């Protein structure tokens, strides 16, 4: 059986690593999403990350926990400490507010705006 992937693409653009996620980020696949991120980022020189979550089909509190875990991983393994989101749904933003973690992340209206702010 083929392994399910949650990262569509990772690209470096003007000093910002853009990670395009898709599918659901939930309790059921939390470990797989974290493992895939770590595996694909291993050995990359990363400063700040922009997550494009336009193609995320579902997120729950465990999905928020996965994003927080990625933030912690980034702070200890990479040179930057900024994580931004584009295309964040109202549901994700509400979950971040409820969990009191919204201040860990930056939210942008467009990829251009995010890249200017994160580089």
Is there a domain that residue 1 lies in? Answer: no
In order, the DSSP letters of 49-115 are: EEEEEEEEEEE-HHHHHHHHHHHHHHHHHSS---EEEES--HHHHHHHHHTT-GGGSEEESSHHHHH
Per-residue pLDDT at 79 exceeds 70: no
Per-residue pLDDT at 89 exceeds 80: yes
Is the separation of the CB atoms in 10 and 20 below 8 Å? yes
Is the separation of the CB atoms in 67 and 74 below 8 Å? no
Rounded CA gap, 86 and 111, in Å? 7
Is there a domain that residue 107 lies in? Answer: yes
Per-residue pLDDT at 110 exceeds 90: yes
Residue 93 belongs to domain spanning: 7-118
Give the model's confidence band at 108: pLDDT under 50 very low, under 70 low, under 90 confident, else very high. very high
CATH at 16: 3.30.750.24
Is there a domain that residue 33 lies in? Answer: yes
Is there a domain that residue 2 lies in? Answer: no
Q: Count of domains in the chain?
A: 1
What would the pLDDT profile of 91-105 be if each residue is shown by its tens digit? 888 888 888 888 888
Is there a domain that residue 92 lies in? Answer: yes
pTM of the complete model beyond 0.95 = no
What would the pLDDT profile of 1-60 be if each residue is shown by its tens digit? 456 778 899 898 888 989 999 988 888 888 888 888 888 888 877 788 899 999 988 888
């Amino acid at each position: 059986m083929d392994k399910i992937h949650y990262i569509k693409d990772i690209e470096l653009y003007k000093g910002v690593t853009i990670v395009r996620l898709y599918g659901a980020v939930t309790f059921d696949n939390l470990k797989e999403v974290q493992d895939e991120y770590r595996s694909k980022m291993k050995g990359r020189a990363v400063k700040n990350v922009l997550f494009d979550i336009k193609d995320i089909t579902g997120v729950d509190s465990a999905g928020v926990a996965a994003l927080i875990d990625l933030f912690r991983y980034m702070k200890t393994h990479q040179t930057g400490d900024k994580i931004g989101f584009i295309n964040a749904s109202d549901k994700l933003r509400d979950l971040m507010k409820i969990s009191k973690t919204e201040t860990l992340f930056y939210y942008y209206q467009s990829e251009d705006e995010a890249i200017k702010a994160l580089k």
